[in-house]
Structures are given as C-alpha cells and as structure tokens.
Amino acid sequence: MHRLTHYFSNLLKKISPPNDRINKAKSIPAEIRSFLKENDDLKTIEPHSRLVGSYARKTYVGDIKDVDILVFIDDEYEEDSPDSVLRLLKRVLENYENILSVEVSPQRRSIHMFFKDYDFHLDIVPALLPKGIENKALIPDKIREKWLESHPIAYGKKLSDLNSKRGQKVIPSIRLFKHWRDIQMKYKRPKSYWLECMVYYKFNKGYVKIEGKSLAEVFWQLTELIYKEYEEYFSSNENIPKISDPILGNNVASNWERGHFEAFMDRLDEARKWAKKALEAEGRDVAIEYWKKVFGEDFFPTSVEEDAKNISEILKAGAIVNSTGRISSNKNRKEKSIDIKKHRFYGE
C-alpha cells in the first residue's frame, strides 16, 4: 500500500491560502470588529464579537475570500424585529471610515461587506446572548421574521476537541473533502458546512479508523462510509438524507435538491473507487495517477524535478539534515544534525 504521506502533506499546503490572503483575513475583520466595539450607535456586550465559520475553524481551502463575524448586541434589541436590527447594523457599517472602497448590503441573516480593493468579503451577523456566550445565541431571520437559535462557537470548540482526540486528522480530512468537492463539482455543489458535518459525524461516532492510518486511507474510509450511509436514499429516487447540526440537531441540508444530491453521490462513487484503486495499486506511479483523478492533476507531483523543487523551498528558509539524512525545517534536540544555512543561489 502506498501511503504517499509526503504527497498528502504537499496537497494540504497547496490548498492553503497564500500569506497575503491570510494577512487580509486577520487585518480586515480585526478592523471592523474594533470599529463596531467602539461605535455608540449599536450597543454591544462582552465579548463584543467573535470570528466564526470555516476561517475560525481552520477548515478553509484555497484563497480566503470571506470571513464570518458574530456581533453580540445588547438584550434590549430582543424586542425589535430582525429586519430593524439588520437595518440598524447596515447604517452603522455605512459609517465605516473607508466606506468608499466598500459595498454594504443586507442579507437574510447578516450584513455583507465587500472590500473591492482586496476582493474580500465579510458577513456580519448580529447575535443576542440571553444566557451568556457559553449557551445558544439568537440570530435574526428577516424572511421568517423571528430570532433563531444558533451555536457556532460551541461547534467550533467541539470540532477542535474532536480533532485533538482523533489524532489531528479531522480538520485535514475536512479540508481534503472540501477540495475534492471543489475539483469535482463545478455545479450543484453541496455546501461546505454540510461536508463538515458529514465528516464530523463519522469521526465522532468512531467509524473512521485512525490508528496507524495515513490521510490517504482515512479519506478513502470517509468516501466509503458516507456513500454507504446515503446509498439507500440514492436508490430510492425520491428521498434526501438529513444532515444534523452537531449542536442543535436541526437539518442543515433541508434545502438540498434531489438533482444536486444525485450529482454529489455520482462524484462520491467515483472518488471512493479511485481512492481504493490508488491504495491497492502495485506501483507508486499508478497510485499517484488515481489520486490525481480524485484531487486534480496539479496537486500530486510525478517527477523528480518537482520533488526537488519542494525540497528547495525548505532549503530557502534554512533547514537541517539529521543523522538519517532526512531534510527538515525543524531541529530535534535529541538527535545530531547539521545546519544548512539560508541561501538564494541554486545553480544556473
């Protein structure tokens, strides 16, 4: 069996955002959070705001183009309609000092800010905390004209705890699953949160075996487990499976359309078969070709030259060679090693 550990580590790096996008994801939300905290027109309470969503949970893939923020508003707004609170938040955000380069628009449960100069989006959700931050929040829904229960902070903590208990394999698996979705489904894509919940439940119930297993094996297990769980619905030609929120238990995929579900199952069936063939392949190159079918041709190098390029990136930052000859950017105090100095010239 070809575990291809280096290749999967490289894949996770490739689907990570570049540093400039990470910096924008840190600086822009921080600026808006500070602006809202100091604003007198909207009363907020401790801790004033929190980052939520895939960025906060570290389950993002590709460029970070959007970040979600919960803004904790005073209890007095509970008597107001969701629409009026959203309109108030919109007016406040329109007073942001750099508003000329920002578009502000209302949505069903949030106010959307688009930073045109950076191609960056924020969704800002006002939230009530009737029983404190450790308990459920209430968020507005202007279509249904009511405040709805939500608990994204608790989910983020549960996901982090589960990731620690399951050998730090849950969050990387979610990221791989999302990347597979992005590569294989240009249309009719299931929402990212739905995929998170699918993966979360398989790990949380102990169905995914992690002891001595590589990410390649874990990913194949997930495709098999999820396909088999939904196979009955797929064969029925009419029903859609429910995907329960890990905290509240409600069906987060209540608007999943039958045609979209079928498209997901078709792609998932392909992925589980390709992944199995990759794991059972006799030759390393054959295994790589099957993984390319799953994750896209650009993410698994097949030549010595590209492997050498990956090593050179480590050398540019400075590295060590340990007693076994392995190159690493981290020094192990317990073993002898030789420092490789940073350099910029690698021959003509």
Q: What is the pLDDT of residue 229?
A: 96
pLDDT tens for each residue of 163-185: 999 999 999 999 999 999 999 99
Give, for all 348 residues of the chain, the pLDDT tens digit: 788 898 999 999 999 999 999 999 999 999 999 999 999 999 999 999 999 999 999 999 998 999 999 999 999 999 999 999 999 999 999 999 877 789 999 999 999 999 999 999 999 999 999 998 889 999 999 999 999 999 999 999 999 999 999 999 999 999 999 999 999 999 999 999 999 999 999 999 999 999 999 999 999 999 999 999 999 999 987 789 999 999 999 999 999 999 999 999 999 999 999 999 999 999 999 999 999 999 998 877 665 345 545 545 544 545 444 433 333 444 444 444 434 344 333 232
Q: What is the pLDDT of residue 133?
A: 87
Token pair, residue 215, equals 């990410």
The CA distance from 219 to 53, in Å, is 23
Q: What is the pLDDT of residue 310?
A: 53
| DSSP-derived pairing of the beta strands 111-115 and 102-106 | antiparallel
The CA distance from 197 to 215, in Å, is 18
- Into which CATH architecture does domain 19-150 fall? 2-Layer Sandwich (3.30)
Q: What is the pLDDT of residue 299?
A: 74
Q: What is the pLDDT of residue 236?
A: 87
Token pair, residue 48, equals 């004033």
Residue with tokens 């208990």: 165
The CA distance from 115 to 105, in Å, is 12
- Which of the 8 DSSP states describes residue 188? S
Q: Of the candidates 40, 44, 47, which has an alpha carbon nearest to the alpha carbon of residue 77?
A: 44
Residues 6 or more apart whose CB falls under 8 angstroms from that of 81 comprise: 142, 145
Percent residues over pLDDT 70 in the chain: 86
pLDDT tens for each residue of 23-44: 999 999 999 999 999 999 999 9
Helix, strand, coil distribution of the chain in percent, nearest 5: 50, 15, 35
Q: What is the pLDDT of residue 100?
A: 73
Q: What is the pLDDT of residue 343?
A: 36
The CA dihedral of 23, 26, 31, 32, to the nearest 10 degrees, is 120
- Classify the C-alpha dihedral 124-189-64-169 as positive or negative: positive
User: How is the chain split into domains, by residue range?
Assistant: 19-150, 166-299, 304-340
Q: What is the pLDDT of residue 331?
A: 46
User: Which residues sit opposite 71 in a β-bridge?
Assistant: 49, 126
The CA distance from 257 to 191, in Å, is 12
The CA distance from 286 to 292, in Å, is 10
